Each structure stands twice: as structure tokens, then as C-alpha cells.
Structure 1
Amino acid sequence: MAKKKIRRKELLKKDDEFISLSNRFFQYVSAHAKQVQYLIVSLMIIIAIVIGISLYFKHLNKKALAAYNLAYKNSVSDFSPDIKEDTINRSIEELDKLIKKYGWTKMATLAIPQLAYLKFGQGKYDEAISLYQTYLKKDKSGSIYRSMAHFGIAAAYEAKSEYQSAISNLKKIVDDENNFLKEEAMFSLGRIYAVSGQREMSKEIFKDFINQFKESPLIPLAKANLTK
């Protein structure tokens, strides 16, 4: 089938329509020159603000990282057995300042469980629990720190003799098949069941522990708990 031939008259008509549309556009721009100018300037200002905010947040993230590194370095040194109380307090102050000043950054979020750990070491169990819970609310990712936070909460509740709360937090770790802390959490769960007087539950947990973690260095202790 032969292609339909476009007439010269039709081509000229299309060209005229394009020229007419272009003319109307330029006429509109000429008639509203100020409005168009304001629009362009506004867009440029918005772009400049977006770039400025982006650079500012990048700068703040760098400062937060530097503050985190300093606080982390000091908190790591706090593991020394002969560390002085004022050194621990200094680490707590640095972590607290980082969290308050750069609260929206990832570094500040990661500082929360570290601060909780130091509070736990001072025997301030309620503060430690509150900080760990704050971290769990802020970080919804699959971070390994979530498991560590649950473990920390369990330890704080155990120190307060609130065993049922400790058990519920340990279960959150144990129920996760691929959790890297499952071995330690299951052993602790069996131990806390025993401490709280739930001997049968304790024995069940230790039996499961022995079956699941045959190479664990904690096996002799688990077996010893079965004979009590």
C-alpha cells in the first residue's frame, strides 16, 4: 500500500502553527517579564538553599563522626580494670554531648548503646534500660547493635532482680535462628530461669542448648546445670 503523500500546503500549515505557538510563548514572556524573572530567581534561590543545606549536613556528619570517634576511643579505654571514675564520667559526658548535639545522625544513634553500657557499669540500671530502649526505637534496621541492646536490657533487668523482663528480652534473641548472640542468650536464658526458681524451664533450655551448640565452651556448665 502506497504511503499517503503529505501535501506542501499541510506542511506549511504545521510550520505556521509552530511559529504561532512560539510567538504566543514569547509574547507571554514579554508581557509577564517581571513574573518570569521572579520565577527564575526563586528557582535559583531554592537550588542554592538545597545545595547549602546538603553541604551543611555533610559538614555536621563529619563533626558527628569526629565526636563519635573521640567518645568511642575513650569508652574503649574504660574497659581497663584500674580505670578511674573521672575517666568514665568524661566518656559519659562526651557521648551525652554527641547524642544531644547531633541526635539525628547515625553516629549519635550508635553512641546511645555505648552510653547505656557505661551507665550499666556504674550500676545505673534504669538509665541503662531507658537508653537501650531509646536506641531500639530509633534504629529500625537489622543492625547487630539491636541484639546487643536486648542483651544489655536483659542484664540490667537481671541486676534489678526483674527476671521476667530479662527473660522476655533474651527470648527475642533466642527466637531469631540466625542471631549471632543466640548461643550466649540461650545460656543466659537457662541460667535466669534457674535463678528465678523455674527449674524445669531451665533444664529444657539447657537441653536445647547442648543439642544446638555441641562445640560451645559453655557445654560443661550447661551439663552441670542439668544435674542441679
Structure 2
Amino acid sequence: MAKRAATRKQLLKEPDQFITFSGKLIAFGRSNFKIILIITGILLSLLLVLVTVRQISHRNENRASALVEQAVAKYSAALQDSNPQTAYDRIKTDFADIFDTYSSKNAAKVARIIYGDISYNAGDADTAITMYTHALNDFSQFPALKHIVLSGLGYAFALKAEYPRSIQYFEMISADKDNTMKSGALFNLAWLYEAAGEKEKGASMYKQLLTDFPESMYGDLVREKVSG
């Protein structure tokens, strides 16, 4: 037997589910108005903070990059009418300000490598080592940059005549699978071993360089040395 359709009177007596739910929601909103305002305010504040941090971070990164460019330009200009030591003295405060204000920015991280090179060229091996050591942590996951930093550390310790430490860093480059700056590392290891009195190891490095990188810029010089 077919079920009879509900009459209009019956329908009017049955509560509309949507209206009932809406009514409950409105009632909850009225009784918890302050709580809702607080929660909404917190969420909006968090969103505003995130947006602001991103904008500031981007703006600060640009400022840091601009300051690094200015410092490098100032250093280059100083080299035109002075020596590396004088040029170094002229830009010390510029780089110090960059590291103090924008230490975590990518531009400052790259600036540490640049300032390490500038320090090394001025004969300040200790500052160069400090900069390169910090940069090594910053770029440990980037082989090309990592090798540049390791090479810088090798040269800086060689400048202090601390040959075992210097050898340690060039060996890290030569043992890596990435060939970036590897020929230079082998060449440096050869003369460092010689300087440390280990002639056989030095000769071995020269031979490895010619075997692995026969067309390198060091090739003719090494061949002449080996044949002599």
C-alpha cells in the first residue's frame, strides 16, 4: 500500500533541520561572542604576522644584497689607488654591519666567502678562517660552493704555515665525487706535501693530477716539473 504524502499541516509541525541548525549556531554565537572574537583576532593576527615576516624577509634580503654589492664595489675602487691591506681596512665596518644586521640572509652568507677572500688577500688568515668556517656550515649541501670554501680554508692555513691543516681541507676536495676545483686541490696537495717534507706524496699527487686531469691549466707546469 502506497504511503500517503504528508499534509501541509504535518509539514508545518515538523521542524526544518536547516532552520533548527542555524538557530542553534546563532544561539551559540550570541552566548560565545567574546570567545569567537578572540579566536578570530588571534587567527587574523597570526596571518598578518606571517605575511609581514615574509615581506620583511624579502625586503631585508634585497637590502642585504644591495649592501654587499656596495661593499664589494667600494673594495674594488679602493684597490685602484691602494694595496689589499688598505682596501681591506676601508671596508671592514661595511661588512661588519652586514653580518650584524643581516646575518641569516643568503646575501650575508655569500658575503662571508667574499670577505674571507678579502681577508686572505690582506694577509689576515685568522679572519679568513673564521669567515670560511662559518660559510662551510652555510653551504655544506652545495658541492661547488663547499669546495670554494674548503679551498679558502686550505689557503688560509697554508698562509699560517699550518700545512697539516691545509692538507686536510684540500684532501676533502680531492676525495669528493664532485670534480669542482679537484685539479687545483691535487696541485696544492702536491706542493704542500713537498713543503712538509713528504716528497714521495707530492710526486704521487702530481702524477694523479696528470692522469685524472691531463688537460688542466696545471698540466704543462706539472709535466715540466715531473720530467725535470
TM-score interval, normalised by the smaller of the two chains: 0.7 to 0.9
Q: Does 1:109 align with 2:109?
A: yes
> Residues 149 and 62 from structure 1, CA distance in 2 versus in 1: closer, same or farther, beyond 3 angstroms?
same
- Secondary structure of the residue aligned to 1:54 is helix
CA-to-aligned-CA distance 1:128-178 (integer Å, 9 cap, x gap): 112110111233330533211111111111122211111110011111233
Counterpart of 1:59 in structure 2 is: 59
Verify: 1:23 aligned to 2:26, yes or no.
no
Backbone CA RMSD of aligned residues = 2.6
User: Relative to structure 1, is the Cα distance of residues 116 and 217 closer, same or farther in structure 2, using a 3 angstrom cutoff?
Assistant: closer
1:59 counterpart letter in structure 2: R
Q: 1:120 aligns to what?
A: 120
Count of residue pairs brought into register by the alignment: 219
CA–CA distance in 2 between the matches of 1:186 and 1:78? 34
The answer for the alignment partner of 1:3 in structure 2 is none
1:203 and 1:225 in contact (8 A); partners too: no
Provide the C-alpha distance between the structure 1 equivalents of 2:206 and 2:157, rounded to a whole number of angstroms: 21
SS at match of 2:109: helix
| 2-structure distance, mates of 1:216, 1:43 | 60
**Structure-2 separation of matches of 1:210 and 1:46:** 60
Partner of 2:153: 153
List runs of 5+ in structure 1 lacking aligned partners. Answer: 1-6
Give the C-alpha shift of residue 69 in structure 1.
1.1
Residue pairs, 1:162-177, within 5 angstroms: 162-177=162-177
CA distance in 2, matches of 1:50, 1:217: 51
Match of 1:98 in 2: 98
Name the CA distance, whole Å, in 1 between partners of 2:75 and 2:149. 17
The Cα of 1:180 is off from its aligned counterpart by: 2.0
* Match in the other structure for 2:44: 44
Q: Deviations over 1:189-215 (max 9, x none)?
A: 111111111111111111111111212
Question: Given the two structures, how large is their TM-score scaled by the length of structure 1?
Answer: 0.84
CA contact (8 A) 1:129 1:153 kept: yes
Deviation at 1:8, TM superposition (A): 7.5
Rounded to whole Å, the distance in 2 between the matches of 1:112 and 1:131 is: 5
Deviates further, 102-111 or 155-164: 155-164
Q: In the alignment, residue 222 of structure 1 is paired with which amino acid? A: V
Residue matched to 2:68: 68
Task: Return the offset for 1:80.
Answer: 4.9
Runs of 4+ in structure 1 over 4 Å off: 15-19, 77-82
Question: For 1:34, what is the secondary structure of its paired residue?
Answer: helix
Give the AA of the match of 2:161: S
* Shift in CA distance, 163/85, structure 1 to aligned 2, threshold 3 Å: closer
Contact 2:75–2:90, Cα closer than 8 Å, also in 1: no
CA 1:79–1:207 in structure 2 vs 1: closer, same or farther (change >3 Å)? farther
**Matched-pair contact (CA < 8 Å) for 1:96–1:115:** no
